[in-house]
Structures are given as structure tokens and as C-alpha cells.
Chains A and B, each alone.
Chain A
Amino acid sequence: MIQCKDIRKTYVNDGNSTEVLKGISFDIQDGEFVSIMGPSGSGKSTLMHILGALDTATSGKYLLDGKDISSFSEDELAHIRRDKIGFVFQAFNLLPRTTVIRNVMLPLIYQEIPVADRLERVEASLRAVNLDEKRWEHHSNQLSGGQMQRVAIARALVNNPSLILADEPTGNLDTKTGDLVLETFERLNREHGHTIVLITHEPDVAEHADRTLLIRDGELISDTKNVKP
């Protein structure tokens, strides 16, 4: 589970310091599906970077699986990302001219998983996101946007992360394929018990989660349970 205590982040630029996060505290339990919502400039991206161990907070504590990673070195953070976090980006960030299978396998390379064990895990991930088996050998750039994002989700799943972080995953998709991707997240959460944090600026998207944290001007404004029909 995730515990954030008084997370602050200050950027210093030419002597001017800007406080982007002004003391944010919340907990996320294992198996929760949480959305972090806020307009652009609210600090939600900075918060996502800290949650994803891409960056560290200026002050405050961030506990991931009970471990305080707020003062980790770059390489230690890389290990946390490798073992505990799966990312899904707005722009998919798949390797072009590379097969779907190879794309999904990428995190396993850095985990140094033995070659023989890899394919099984990749196939399990691809099945979990319901990607048509006929597409598995295709190059990533031959797929549609919705398919690409599901490949990206499969890639985020393949290392069995404690936390899946999705940064505006529907931003580059039309409403229909966006809904399909969101349904995939809901299903992964419901059926596989994955902990998912979804970052978005759209209330419609945020609604798909069980709980919404609203961020504005670097402060946590509200923490509400979503009532689903």
C-alpha cells in the first residue's frame, strides 16, 4: 500500500522557488482504483512522478509497500520502478518497428528474467488486456491507438507491479476506444486485484475509478468515493 505524508515539492529556477506541491497526504490501499484529478498546472503530474519513483519529494514521506523511498538514489529508484511500478503513458511510448511481444517483454529484460520464462508472462499479460492473438507478432506501429494503449498496459502488467500508474491514458484516444481502455483498467482492478492510480483532468475519466483525489494549486481539495451505477 501507499502512504503519502505531507509531500512537498519545490522547484528552484534562477533563484525563484516555486512550490508545486504544498503538503499532500493520503493513503491508497492494495487493490484500490484511484484517480487523481486536477486541471493542468495543479501539480498532478509532479505528484505522479513522485508516486512513480521518477522523482523524489523535497520534503515529506512516501512509503511504497512500507518502504520510505523519499531519499533513494537514482539507481535505487530505477530498481523500485523496475520491480514495483508499471507505467501507462498518454503517448503509449511503444518501441516502433518492434513486435508487440518484444515491446511487452521490455521490462523483463531489465529485471534479468531468464529468457525461457519470459514468453509465458508476456502472453498472460496480453491475454489480460484482451489483445487479439493475431496481433501479437505485428509491429507496434501497425496497430490502432486503442490496441497500442492495451499493449502498453500489458507492458505495465508484465512485471507484476504493486502499482500501475496511468498518466492521461485516454488523452490520445477517441471516446469509444478510450472507454475500452478504461474498461480494461476496471477489469484488471476488479478481476486481478491490481492497484491502479489514474491521472487525468477529465471528470468523466476520473469517474471510472472507485475514488477520486482532486488536486488544485498543489493542494488536496477533496477525497471522495465514486458511486457507481
Chain B
Amino acid sequence: MLTSDLTQEIYTSVTVNKSRSGLTMLGIVIGIASVIVMVAIGRGAQSSIEESIQSIGSNLLMVRPGAERDPGSPVMGARGSAETLTLDDAEKLPSMVSAIESVAPQVSSNGKQVIADGQNTNTSITGVTEVYATVRNVSVSSGNFISAAQNKNLSKVAVIGPDVEEALFGENATGTVGKKIRIAGTEFTIIGVTVAKGGTGMGSSDDVIYIPLSTAQQFFTGSKYVSMINIQVKSGADMDAASAAVTTALLSLHDIANADDADFSIMNQADIVSTASSVTSTFTALLAAVAGISLVVGGIGIMNMMLTTVTERTREIGLRKAIGAEGQDIRKQFLFEAVTLTFVGGATGVALGWIISYIANAYGVTASVSLNSVLLAFSVSAAIGIVFGYYPAYRAAKLSPIEALRYE
């Protein structure tokens, strides 16, 4: 059978029953489109989470106090609840570990009421030094960040996040710098507004107020302890080695002999990234699996239609065999018909998936279509055509011409 004849035969049989072919293809279209969209949404979530983790700064080690433990008690308190890290630790670390680029201690205090212009909001207050801006990738869109002098003088100045600005002064507020706000009863002057980083998976970095670290200790925590020490490691340095060196340094500063008794813990940014990616890839796999099921259902639809077609056309198959068609001519015709249906369905599904991902992006859901998932979906659809088309085609090819011609 010539290829041109095969093409013509397939075209004829697909178009003769347009609605049936269309509905069967729809199963594949939906299957392929959902695989593409689901994988795109999964990947989108993955990349936006990774991006927001990167946005907190690069080459970052975060040292937090260890869990509080009563002497002799096996019960541990929440991690970070103990007061073990001091400003002193932060100041001594750079001279003890050569891989450190800079150190930014911070004091955090949650849920303080903030009032300005008669509006009020509730947000976390973070006491920081001037280094914090570089270590944690914070930049200001207007005004300035907190300076070393302000820290020294216990200045009552604040740099606010864009979410706080919106809550207090409304959307598209201007002239925020210079205004006064009251934080838990104390008046502060706004000296800057930070650039929006977008919502992140780990608490928005836009809903925050930065004040000088010394001021925070004086007015809100009332102690010499810090909540966290952010360490920026020199670029190119080994993060794991740096983390180990910081551990050793802090252990000696705290006079602890055994590393198991450490009263602090160190988080490596790379670890957070890999944890987050393993979560999101599980999520993506789950979405893909659900979509994959619909693809298989679509494939069964193809098989069902092809079996019906073979039964309906039994006499025709008998005739074709009687006038000289070999088994393989018949098999080819039905197999390629199934493959054509899945292929056209697959192509339409890819297009539809792309369009849906595009629309999803327009509505704020990050969906990134990958070429790999398109290729995969496409080859899966062709494979489905072959797998689910083979049995009906085999049945057709095997029909005895005498029996087939007698079939009523």
C-alpha cells in the first residue's frame, strides 16, 4: 500500500465520522493539556519558591539560638527560643572565621501595633545594623537604610516594607519618608521604604519594619541577646566548610566542649533550597500523575472507538482482504488511524495547555511550560495511539475474509 493511499484511507475514515473522531480526540486533548498545565504550575511553584529563597541573600548562613532546655529536663522548647547569642558573638566571628564576608545580627520581635495617620496595623519589628541590607539583599526604593551612626545613637528611625506602607498610608502613597509612626507607643521617624520582593513561601519580607538594632534592644526586647546572626560567606568559599568553622568558633566562644550540646543551630541556605525543591517536585509529580490518569482514560477512549470501528467495518475489512489486502495492510491502516487521532489530539492538547498556562500567568498563577513536558506529552500521546490502537488493529488484521464477508 502506498503512503499516499494510506493517508487518504485514514483521512476518509477519520472524517466520515467527524463527531465520533472529535469526541475521542477530546479525551486525548484534555489529557495532554492537563499534563502540560499541571507540570507547568508545579514548575512555576518550584521556581517561585526557589527565587524567593535566593532573594533573601546569597551565600547565607543563618545562626539561631538553640532550643531552651531546663537543666536536667529532657523536654526541649521551640528552636530559637533560648537566649544564647549576643552582639558580642556577632562582632567576634569575622576575626575567627576567615571565610566570613560580613555579619549582620538581628533582633526580631513579633506583632507590634503600629499607628500612623489614624490607621493601624500589626507587624513584626526587626532590629538590624547597616550591614543587614547587603547581607539579606534589602534595598530601599525611597529614602535610606539604617546607618551605623543611627545604630550608635539609638535613633528612633524606621525603614518600612511596602506592605506596611500600603496598610498605613494607602495604595500608591507618596512622601512617606519623613512621616512619623508610633510603634507600641514609641514615636519613630520613617527614613526609608524597601523595594517589594513579592510574597514568599516563608513569610512576606514586605510586611516588616526595620529599626536600629540598639533601639530594638532598648525599647522592645530589653536584653543584650540577638534573635539571629546572618553571615554572608565570601563568594566562592565552601558553604559547608564555612558552616563548620562558624560552629567551632561559636562553641569556643560559648565554652562548650561537645558539639552535641551546642546552644545554637546553623541553617545553610542551600539546604533550604534543596528541601523546598524536594517538596515542590513531589507536588509536581503528584499533579502530573493525576493528569497522567486522564491521559490513560483518553487512551482507553481511543481503543474503544477503534474496536467499535473494527466491528462496524468488519464486512469492509473482509472485502479489502478478498480483493488482495494483506494482514499488514489492514493492520497499518487501523494502527495509523489510531495514531493519527492521538497525534492530532496531542498537538491540540499541547496548544490548549500552552494557552491555559498563558492565561493562568495573566491571572497571577506562575505556570512555566517546559519544552521537556511538551515533548514528553507528545511522545506519550503517540505511544498511547500505538499501544491502544494495536489491539484493535491486530483484531482487524486477523479477521478471516470469509467470516468477515458473512458478518451481518
User: Which residues of chain A have a CB within 8 Å of any CB of chain B?
Assistant: 49, 52, 54-55, 74-75, 78-79, 81-83, 86-87, 89, 91, 93, 95, 97-98, 106-107, 109-112, 115, 155, 159
Contacts and interface: CB of A to CB of B under 8 A. Distances in A.
B402 interface: yes
Contacts of A159: 323-324
B322 interface: yes
Contacts of A111: 324
| From B316, B319, B322, B327, residue with most partner A Cβ within 10 Å | B322
Contacts, number: 63
Given A110-B325, A159-B323, 5 more contacts: A79-B326, A81-B324, A89-B319, A109-B5, A110-B320
A104 to B, nearest CB: 11
A106 B322 contact: no
B402 A110 contact: no
A81 B4 contact: no
8 contacts: A74-B326, A74-B327, A78-B327, A89-B319, A107-B323, A107-B324, A110-B1, A159-B324
A45 B16 CA distance: 33
B114 to A, nearest CB: 77
Contacts of B16: 97
B243 to A, nearest CB: 72
Contacts of B2: 109, 112, 115
Contacts of B318: 93
Interface in B293-328: 315-316, 318-327
Nearest to B6: A109
Contacts of A79: 324, 326
A112 B321 CA distance: 15
B315 to A, nearest CB: 6
B1 A109 contact: yes
Contacts of B322: 52, 54, 81, 87
Closest CB pairs A-B (n = 10):
A82-B324, A110-B324, A93-B319, A107-B323, A109-B5, A78-B326, A81-B324, A110-B325, A75-B326, A87-B322
B4 A110 contact: no
B14 to A, nearest CB: 13
A155 B401 contact: no
Contacts of A49: 402
A112 B1 contact: yes
Nearest to A52: B322
A74 B12 CA distance: 27
Contacts of B187: none
Interface in B389-408: 401-402, 405
A115 B323 CA distance: 18
Interface in B324-344: 324-327, 329
Nearest to A49: B402
Contacts of A87: 322-323
Contact of A78 (B9, B12, B319, B325): B325
A112 B401 CA distance: 21
Nearest to B325: A110
A82 B12 CA distance: 22
Given A87-B322, A106-B320, A115-B4, A54 B327 contact: no
Contacts of A89: 319, 405
Contacts of B402: 49, 54-55
B327 A83 contact: no
A110 to B, nearest CB: 4
A210 B1 CA distance: 38
Contacts of A82: 323-325
A110 B324 CA distance: 6
Contacts of A78: 321, 324-327
B331 to A, nearest CB: 12
A54 B320 CA distance: 12
A75 B323 contact: no
Nearest to A92: B319
A109 B330 CA distance: 12
Given A54-B401, A55-B402, A110-B325, A98 B12 contact: yes
B316 A106 contact: no
A105 B373 CA distance: 44
A81 B323 contact: yes
B314 to A, nearest CB: 11
Contact of B329 (A83, A95, A110): A110
Contact of B405 (A74, A86, A93, A107): A93
